[in-house]
Amino acid sequence: MKKLVLRATTACLVGTTVAAGMTMAAGADDGNLVLPSAGAGNTTADENTAALQDARVPEKTAEAVETADTAAEPEAAKEESLAGSQAIAALAEDLEYVNIRAAADDMAESIGKMYDRDVATVLGEEGIFYYVTSGSVTGYVHKDCVFVGEEAENYTDLYYTAKGTNTLEGLHVRTAPDDMAEALCQLSSGEVVDVLENDGGWSKIYYADGDLEGYVHSDCLLSGIDYSYAESNEEEAIRLAEEAEAAASAAEAEEAAREAEEAAQAAEAAAKAAAEEAEAAQKAEEEAAREEAERAEAEAEAAREAAERAEAEAETRAAEEAEEEDEDADAGEEDEAEAEEESYNSAESYSDSSKGQQIANYALQFVGNPYVWGGTSLTNGADCSGFVMSVMADCGISVAGRTAAAQSQGGVSVSSDNLQPGDLIFYTHGGSVGHVAIYIGDGRIVHAANSRRGITTDSAFYQTPYKCVRYY
pLDDT interval class at 123 (50, 70, 90): confident
pLDDT interval class at 63 (50, 70, 90): very low
Domain 163-221: CATH class, spelled out:
mainly beta
Give the tens place of pLDDT for each residue, 213-238: 999 999 999 988 777 888 999 999 99
**Model pLDDT, residue 124:** 86
Residue 56 has pLDDT above 60, yes or no: no
134 close to 98: Cβ distance less than 8 angstroms: no
Q: Model pTM greater than 0.95?
A: no
Q: What span, in angstroms and rounded, lies between the C-alpha atoms of 119 and 139? A: 13
**Model pLDDT, residue 183:** 95
Most confident segment among 71-75, 280-284, 333-337, 450-454: 450-454
The neighbour count for residue 136, using CB atoms within 10 Å, is 14
Q: Which of 213, 198, 203, 199 is nearest to 166 (CA)?
A: 203
What is the DSSP secondary structure assignment for residue 67, as one 8-state letter? H
Q: Which of 172, 429, 447, 468 is catalytic?
A: 447
User: What percent helix, strand, coil does the chain show, rounded to 5?
Assistant: 40, 30, 35
| CATH code matching the domain that covers 356-470, chosen among 3.60.21.10, 3.50.50.60, 3.90.1720.10, 2.60.40.420 | 3.90.1720.10
Q: Which of 142, 172, 429, 435 is catalytic?
A: 435
CA count, 13 A, side-chain hemisphere, 74: 17
**Model pLDDT, residue 153:** 63
What is the DSSP secondary structure assignment for residue 86, as one 8-state letter? B
Q: Is 220 a catalytic residue?
A: no
The neighbour count for residue 4, using CB atoms within 10 Å, is 14
Residue bearing the bigger pLDDT, 338 or 427: 427
Q: What span, in angstroms and rounded, lies between the C-alpha atoms of 328 and 400? A: 56
456 close to 367: Cβ distance less than 8 angstroms: yes
Question: Cα dist. 164→6, 186, 196, 216, 236 in Å?
Answer: 9, 15, 10, 11, 30
Percentage of the chain lying above the pLDDT 70 cut: 68
381 close to 375: Cβ distance less than 8 angstroms: yes
**Model pLDDT, residue 346:** 34
pLDDT interval class at 148 (50, 70, 90): low
- Mean pLDDT rounded to a whole number for the chain: 77
| Domains 2-158 and 356-470 in one fold | no
Q: Is 447 a catalytic residue?
A: yes
The neighbour count for residue 330, using CB atoms within 10 Å, is 9
pLDDT interval class at 284 (50, 70, 90): confident
**Among the ranges given (49-63, 268-282, 341-355, 414-428), the one the predictor scored with the smallest mean pLDDT:** 49-63
- The residue ranges of every structural domain in the chain are 2-158, 163-221, 257-322, 356-470
**Model pLDDT, residue 444:** 97
- Kindly state the helix (H) or strand (E) to which residue 311 belongs, with its residue range: helix 233-353
Q: Which of 145, 384, 395, 468 is catalytic?
A: 384
Burial-class residue 170 by CB neighbours within 10 Å (0-12, 13-18, 19+): exposed
Residue 313 has pLDDT above 50, yes or no: yes
Residue bearing the bigger pLDDT, 123 or 6: 123
Residue 311 has pLDDT above 50, yes or no: yes
Q: What span, in angstroms and rounded, lies between the C-alpha atoms of 214 and 175? A: 5
Q: What span, in angstroms and rounded, lies between the C-alpha atoms of 30 and 403? A: 26
Q: Which homologous superfamily does the CATH classification assign to the domain defined by 2-158? A: SH3 Domains (2.30.30.40)
**Among the ranges given (74-88, 263-277, 280-294, 387-401), the one the predictor scored with the smallest mean pLDDT:** 74-88
Q: What span, in angstroms and rounded, lies between the C-alpha atoms of 181 and 170? A: 16
Q: Is 384 a catalytic residue?
A: yes
- Average pLDDT (62-71) is 39
